[in-house]
Amino acid sequence: MRLKALFLVLAFLISVPVSGGERWKPPRDFVKAKVIRVVDGDTIVVSIPRTTFNNRKTLKNLKFTVRLIGIDTPESKLNRRAKLQSRESHRDIQTIIQLGKEAKKYTESLLITGKKGRKKYYRTVFLEFDVQPQDRYGRLLAYVWLPDGRMLNKEIICGGYAYPLTIPPNVKYEKEFLRCFRKAREERRGLWR
């Protein structure tokens, strides 16, 4: 009986993949981009090193503002949106801006690889698009994936630094984000401390 139990345990251990040695590989339709700066907790600027279209035309170093799909962080600067968030949340504008700065700092901590003086160095990321790839302001709308396979949008909302914001037709991870948001609030993480 012991030999049979030992055999079952060994069979199970052999069948479980070793995650430490495997690297995450983004799907082919994800777009590789280098983060240039963090604008806000839910907005970044990226450079796409090289894009080929029509199988022959190549564009290099295109810069885009990327709005992270499915999440909304408080504004970190005084603007019309910050005033709206202040009215909706019944908090003063300075509190909204302070929370926005915390959210921006958290997002930056997930993307920064180093600093030299005032210069910051950021990660290469991978952009996943949903049904609508751009908003009316010309920003790209994307789920941003870190090199280790974690999704930036999800990390921010699970960390307690964003509200869920679903705008159809981009709803792919809506339920996942809502679960993360509820859990972060219950556990008083991030901005909910």
pLDDT tens string 67-105 = 999 999 999 998 998 888 888 888 888 989 999 999 999
φ and ψ of 98, to 5 deg: -65, -45
Percent of the chain with pLDDT over 70: 88
For 105-162, the pLDDT digits (tens) are 999 999 999 999 989 999 999 999 999 999 999 999 999 999 999 999 999 999 999 9
Assigned token pair, 73: 């962080």
Residue 6 has pLDDT above 70, yes or no: no
> Which pLDDT score is estimated for 90?
87
Percent of the chain with pLDDT over 90: 69
Q: How confident is the model at residue 58 (pLDDT cuts 50, 70, 90)?
A: confident
pTM more than 0.85: no
> Which pLDDT score is estimated for 17?
40
Cβ burial, residue 156 (10 Å; 0-12/13-18/19+): buried
**How many CB atoms are located within 10 Å of the residue 59 CB?**
11
Which among 188, 173, 183 has a CA at the least distance from the CA of 142? 173
| Whole-angstrom distance, CA of residue 72 vs CA of residue 5 | 51
Mean per-residue pLDDT of the chain: 87
Bridge-based pairing of strands 140-145 and 57-68 is parallel
